[in-house]
Structure 1
Amino acid sequence: MRLRELLDGDELGLRLLVGRGAGDGPDGVPDRLISAVPTIDLADPGRFLTGGELVLTGLAWWRGDGDAEPFVRVLARAGVTALAAGEVEHRLVPHDLVRACRLHGVPLVAVPPETSFATITERVLHRLPRLHRRDVGSLAAMVERHRRLLADRAAPDSVLELLRQSLGLDVRVLSATGRQIAGAQPALRPGTASALAARYLAARRAREEAPYRVGVGERLYCLVPVPGAAGPAAELGDWLVVVEAGTGSPTAPDVELLDRLVELLADARSAHERSNAARRDLARRSLDLVSDSGVPAEEIPVRLRSTAQAVISGVGTWPRCQYVVAGGEWQGGRPVPASALRVLLEEALVQEGGAAPVSAQDIAATVDGDEVVLMVLAPGAALDHAALRRRLSAALARWLGPADSVCVGVGTPVADPGNARRGLAEARNALRIAREGPERVTVRGPADLTAHILSLLPLIPADARRAFAERHLGPLRDHDRRHRTQLLATLEAFLDCDASWSRTAARLRLHVNSLRQRVARIEEVTGTDLGRLETRLDFLAALRAV
């Protein structure tokens, strides 16, 4: 029976609330076949569905706005024909349910209080041929599954959910850092996912032949790489299929199924990389415009808006963004490939509990020499530097050596394209500050530039800093060397004690009068007056510059 025929019967009083989707007739009423009529009032109906059903629900599971979307999402993935909602429980069909059905393209039918679900079920079953009812339902479900597989080749979650429902097979897709990209929920425990990713990278670098069989605890997993782009950062951007494996050797049908699944996921990865390419183009064009000193400042907003509109379809305004710039060094001073850093930063940003609630679609990245520049699009809040450093450290744990380093600079959020140049400059300046840090992974932001005037020293070229320090401290160093005095150490202690005579004397174990004589000698040798704040700041900067 078709849904259209059920709706045409006036005696049932059914009303179509949502019905313009794929497979609809010319007048907008769905022409889909009904293969079964289950009544479901559980919040998660997935295990009872195979596709083609007219699902009847009394809405006992609905309590308020937000409850409908997960319920309808499961129906859409299962490929049901329609959802019929009774009006007895809430006296009407909640708008939350109407909105969710429109979002997922699931036809929605309102069932009035006077019409029983038993009457609807009897009407449908009466039309199905008695001898072939089960076969027709199975065939319709199979056709619907095939239709969904063809339509959702670029949506891994839909394909993997169909496998779970049809075969009870839990399949997950992980990144090379252990982040779950798609697949069964709940996700693997972080320790398990991290161990699987580490084993995958080790096998790949050892040129072992896939699939890889890996044991974690008492469980055995099969890992298969999903083909993708090549390049120096390829392994870090890899996708891997994770399936819990049995103790015996895989059968031929198992291998065939896995091969076909990897082909579908390769299409999904290609679609993902194509969308990444558009965002990277946006980042490249934005960087070129903002960095080009020949572009007048007043023209930048207009050009950036048009660039965003040209690259990101449907964008009518400048996307609020935050610039992130990063660079790294291997032991010995060789730069870490910027393309690899780009992947690692993207992973660190999108991981759950990361620096900001952003998705992979919110990041536009490009490479600028040995540095990577990211535009984090429309973040709800400024990036959390501590969370970014924590996630980045975790992503780098198995990849960087003990003497290697990665530094990251973050600018303030840019709400208007007229401030883009300043936001990028802040990120670059923060990166210069980060390069001075002793940590293996260092993240700095605008607050680190303004917390103290001396934090601006790294923005001055190294040669200029050395010359400045030598001009102020050289005479004292020469005097100490010739006369075996400790004027330089005295000056450093004096400044460190905020020019307090008593505290400095106590630290150096001198009488205050002896300290005054030393300070007077420092002023004589350098031709300065340490009673002036400007003089003390100059000497403090000189000491920090070396």
Structure 2
Amino acid sequence: MKLRALLTLPDSRLELVTGRDGLDRPVRWVVTTDLPQPGRYLRGGELVLSGLMWRSGPADSEAFVEELAKAGVSALAGGLARGALPDDLVAACRRHRMPLFSVPEDVAFATVTEEVVRHLSGARDLTAVLDRHRRLVAGAGEGAGLGAVLDLVTRDVGLRCWVLTPTGRVVAGPEPPPAGGELAHAFLTAPRLPHPHDGVTIFPVAAETVPRAADWFLAFEGDARDWPPEHRALAAELAAIVALERARLDDRLSVEGRLAQELVRLVVSAAGAGEIASRLALAGLDAGASFTAVAASGRPPLRPAEVRAVLGEAIPVPRPVVGLLEEEVIALVPVPETEKDVADRIQAALAALAPGFTDGGLAVGVSDVVAAGELRGAVEEARFARRLAAQRADPVCVVRHDELATHVLLLASVPDDVRDMFRVRLLDPLRTYDEVHNADLVRTLETFLQNSGSWTRCAERLHLHVNSVRYRIQRIEELTGRDLSRLEDRVDFFLALRLG
């Protein structure tokens, strides 16, 4: 069928917004998606239906339409719960010569799909295909959740499947659940996906659009290498449905999400204790409890919304309040009285995700445990610790509150050029000497300081005679003009080594 035929469908009632000169384009199939980058699931000639859940600003409209144009899509049909289609989406469609239709708010995408497919196919099994598609859409969009979709896949195709998060939490799937932690580790560390592992095959949900540490994944029973092509196509279709459901479940626009955002902003703006206590109660938290503040930011390509998702998933205690301040994510974490070291648990949970950041990374600061009335100071402490973490190159770097009371805090406040000059002046003569003479002076110096200047313990650690250690220390002093019997010179060398 051609695009102009869409304007005659009685139940769909589509209206052309722009692209009249493209109405003779053929329509090969119809696809519903709210993925921000759906190109990998498209083959060309599709009518794409979208509820615009991927859009947060004009730049998103440009990127989405450009992706459709590159994939050879015939047209886009958009629908919103209320209001007209955004002007920036219309402009992007005009720039890329992409015909755009408007779907009335009282018309379901399933209705449009059924009418288009009825025109496209006269196959005898059309009723079964439409029924299956309708049940998939209903399962993902009407509150039945992913469980209904996975049950349908098991019943119709015979494939058991689970949806999991990168921490190993099972989102949906049949009983009994698999070993989530083991599968999550396999998902994060697999050299490529899909990946067979211990009787299941792991598929990404968002594929290459987000880092694995911020993605969900599918675990299908069996080895996908033995599947027929239609089963692989089913896996791709199911991944798209899971991505849509995950976006629908995003709490940023929910009442709880808005309350969390407002609470974080109140804390940062130094609101009164009474106002903060009332907002904590609205968020379902006890104002008499203790809290830890966590601040996090991502290195590109990790985006703030993905950092928020990672932090909300990784914090191993219930009901954290998570908000976004520009590019920084702030979490207020209630700490149970029985919790000994919540910072240690957060650090361990995030460290487990490190293999999933092949590009970019995560910088995290964790405050001390405080009362509700001290939350503003805790947030500032966490944000400063996060800035220290951002200076390090680790894929996931967590700086805890106790590091802020050490020399680390002083080093972080020194400009980079001063730090470099300080390190070079003290250590470069030793490194140059080591390269020429293979003398190991830098390691000797570090071991000497670690053992508080004890000749005997240093010699034992290095498996040297004490006289050899004395000779090396003397050579260090001659090359640098410093005296390692002086406390101030020992401190300078210690700091230079920490900077190096």
Scaled by the length of structure 2, the TM-score of the pair is: 0.48
**Which protein shows a greater Rg?**
1
Scaled by the length of structure 1, the TM-score of the pair is: 0.45
